[in-house]
């Protein structure tokens, strides 16, 4: 009975993690090194060099050439945050039906070793389609940066808990989408409703995407 239950949870699927670098290799290396320490989850790392003008993409390729689950993509121009993610989705992940979720991670973040495991568990085996990370300030871990998005009665979409005490956000709850700097997105959802709107270059693409997901009756959650 226990074996059948564990099999039905399907916790073993692989999750690609997408990280964009642009003229900021020091942050990117620190981020990658933290990702390589992730525990109890299966993942691949996909580094996009977004047209850096100082050969950082080649430097990243050389530095991580022997990491079998890490791939560096050299884009010939800066596509911006939105279009770079749209491009790698179309080129690499869209037609791979075995991938259930993709993770997005800003290159100026450092992750806890159980970060991806906790996002995966919060998805509740496919019940939730956008999972928000608990994002805290780099230089002051007592302060929260974002617990995902909410909509005000004015229609404005804003971060939840920005600048508040991180200890006040210790339990999961449903929200209205995630900050794309550290989140999990269902690939089934993306195939149905589309990915980011290219009208947004860098900023608010994640807010619009979360709103669109909710309109289509997909569920969002803070982990």
Give tens-digit pLDDT for 164-211. Answer: 999 999 999 999 999 999 999 999 999 999 999 999 988 899 999 999
Asked if the model's pLDDT at residue 10 lies above 60, the reply is no
Q: State the residue for tokens 């884009």.
A: 75
What is the spatial distance between Cα 101 and Cα 98, in angstroms, rounded to a whole number?
A: 9
Does residue 121 lie within any of the structural domains? yes
Q: Are 218 and 129 in contact (CB under 8 A)?
A: yes
Distances (CA, A) of 124 to 11, 30, 149, 221: 9, 30, 20, 10
* Per-residue H/E/C for the chain: CHHHHHHHHCCCCEEEEEEEECCCHHHHHHHHHHHCCCCCCEEEEEEEEECCCCCHHHHHHHHCCCCCCEEEEEECCCCHHHHHHHHHHHHHHCCCCCCCEEEEECCCCCCCCCHHHHHHHHCCCCCCCEEECCEECCCCCCEEEECCEEECCCCCEEECCCCCEHHHCCCCEECCCCCCCEEEEEHHHHHHHCCCCCCCCCCCHHHHHHHHHHHCCCCEEEC
Does residue 1 lie within any of the structural domains? no
Predicted TM-score (pTM) of this structure: 0.94
Does residue 2 lie within any of the structural domains? no
Q: Whole domain around residue 32: which residue ranges? A: 12-222
Does residue 6 lie within any of the structural domains? no
What is the spatial distance between Cα 136 and Cα 163, in angstroms, rounded to a whole number?
A: 9
Please compute the mean of the pLDDT values over residues 1-11 and round it to a whole number: 41
1 or 34, which is more confident? 34
Does residue 206 lie within any of the structural domains? yes
Does residue 56 lie within any of the structural domains? yes
What is the tens place of the pLDDT at every residue in 45-74? 999 999 999 999 999 999 999 999 999 999
Does residue 50 lie within any of the structural domains? yes
What is the spatial distance between Cα 52 and Cα 57, in angstroms, rounded to a whole number?
A: 7
Number of domains in the chain: 1
Q: What CATH number corresponds to the domain at position 189? A: 3.90.550.60
Q: Are 197 and 180 in contact (CB under 8 A)?
A: no
Asked if the model's pLDDT at residue 149 lies above 90, the reply is yes
Does residue 5 lie within any of the structural domains? no
Longest dimension (CA), the chain: 57
């Amino acid at each position: 009975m226990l074996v059948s239950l564990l099999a039905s949870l399907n916790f073993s699927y692989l999750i690609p993690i997408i990280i964009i670098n642009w003229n900021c290799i020091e942050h990117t290396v620190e981020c990658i090194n933290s990702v390589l320490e992730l525990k109890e989850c299966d993942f691949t790392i996909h580094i996009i060099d977004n047209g850096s003008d100082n050969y950082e993409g080649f430097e990243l390729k050389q530095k991580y050439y022997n990491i079998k689950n890490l791939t560096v993509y050299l884009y010939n121009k800066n596509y911006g945050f939105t279009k770079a993610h749209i491009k790698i989705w179309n080129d690499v992940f869209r037609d791979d039906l075995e991938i259930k979720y993709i993770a997005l991670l800003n290159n100026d973040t450092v992750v806890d070793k159980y970060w991806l495991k906790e996002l995966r568990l919060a998805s509740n085996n496919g019940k939730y389609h956008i999972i928000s990370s608990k994002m805290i300030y780099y230089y002051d871990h007592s302060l929260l940066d974002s617990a995902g998005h909410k909509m005000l009665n004015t229609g404005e979409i804003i971060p939840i808990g920005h600048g508040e005490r991180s200890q006040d956000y210790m339990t999961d709850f449903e929200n209205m989408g995630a900050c794309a700097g550290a989140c999990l997105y269902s690939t089934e959802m993306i195939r149905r409703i589309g990915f980011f709107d290219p009208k947004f270059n860098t900023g608010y693409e994640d807010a619009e995407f979360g709103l669109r997901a909710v309109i289509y009756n997909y569920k969002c959650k803070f982990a």
